[in-house]
Amino acid sequence: MSVKTGVSFPKTANICAVVVSYNAGDIILQTLAPLYAQTGHIILVDNGSDATNLAVIERAIASRPGRITLINNEKNNLAAAQNIGIAAARDMGFEWVLLMDHDSVADTGMLPIMCEALQYYDQPKKVGIIAPNLRDANSSRRARYPQLHGKIWFKRRQFGNDIIIDNLFSVISSGSLIPIYVFDKIGGMDESLTIDYVDKDFCLRVVRAGFQIIAVREAVLTHRLGNAHDHDIPGTGLQMCCTHHSPERRYTITRNRVLSWFRHGSELPAFVLYDLLAMIYDILRILCFEEQKREKLSAVWQGVKDAFRQQKAAASTP
């Protein structure tokens, strides 16, 4: 496969990292460290951290003069913080944005590898998101990526011998490398979702706009998903990874999940099938291994009901 010409490929100088933090502690230093050499600038949007955590950020800024821009966001809204950072990166003239959570760490060379991979991809102008190979710091599971096979069916793909997996319809926002022109075409993150399903909603809009989402095997990102850890399934030799989200998070996850079905299901029914199976799997994990089972299942049910109410109200609005 030959190198493509006439395309603006991402380079260190035109990539701006947008890092969102909230009471991250010293772990934010691990997140920032690999980004100094791999990006042209870092915009750190803090979602109302306390004085102790802000002091850590201030030390990081002082140690790298001119390399980090701090923006204080008054409310803890991930989508809003990402939009603030994206707008600032655009105003600074950057062509690409790397979204990062405060608990994600890019391997050395992650971004150069992602940039190089794009040069050998068949349709680089159609790529809307370049995603890394995700490693969960709390689990031994290997990342699987949902890949479209027509409008109705999907497969969950692992890398294996593949250097690039394409035709994806969902990746997490952390570690996603996105050209500014994608935001210009489809808009930013949906702030009404706050945290849960912000990334999935954006990915689905990217796909529906005709862009590709690809993941790159050798570009590794270590990420922590809440309180996730593995549980042994007795007598099978298998493990199940549970997130142990609170009942409150279970409610917002479920409400936003069902709302996303209404939003995107007619165009991408494969996503609804995939996500419905994921919801059933979540319920099994709660029943088998998590505490507060009654509270979490009640929260799931309330989330479903509220999503239907919200959709009904929206449909009846002129």
Q: What is the pLDDT of residues 190-231, one digit of tens each?
A: 999 999 999 999 999 999 999 999 999 999 999 976 667 677
Q: Rounded CA gap, 198 and 193, in Å?
A: 6
**Whether 25 and 145 share a structural domain:** yes
DSSP state of 106: E
DSSP state of 102: T
Render the burial of 71-103: b for 16+ CB within 10 Å, e for the rest: eebeebbbbbbbbbbbebbeeeebbbbbbbbbb
C-beta separation of 202 from 208 below 8 A: no
Q: Look at residue 266 and tell me if it is in a domain.
A: yes
Which of 223, 242, 261 is a domain's end point? Answer: 223
Q: Look at residue 6 and tell me if it is in a domain.
A: no
Q: Rounded CA gap, 81 and 210, in Å?
A: 26
**Whether 192 and 238 share a structural domain:** no
Q: Look at residue 1 and tell me if it is in a domain.
A: no
**Whether 145 and 124 share a structural domain:** yes
Parts of the chain with a pLDDT under 50:
1-3, 5-6
**Whether 133 and 100 share a structural domain:** yes
Helices 293-316 and 269-289, axial angle in degrees (round to 10): 160
Which of 223, 249, 271 is a domain's end point? Answer: 223
Instruction: Provide the pLDDT for residue 134.
Output: 94
Instruction: Provide the pLDDT for residue 8.
Output: 62
**E strands in the chain:** 15-21, 41-46, 68-72, 96-101, 104-106, 127-136, 145-149, 153-157, 164-165, 177-179, 212-223, 229-233, 238-242
Burial of 287 from C-beta contacts in 10 A (0-12 / 13-18 / 19+): exposed
Instruction: Provide the pLDDT for residue 237.
Output: 75
Instruction: Provide the pLDDT for residue 36.
Output: 96
C-beta separation of 108 from 34 below 8 A: yes
**Whether 204 and 247 share a structural domain:** no
Which range marks the domain in which residue 179 is found? Answer: 12-223
Q: C-alpha dihedral over 296, 301, 307, 312, to 10 degrees? A: -160
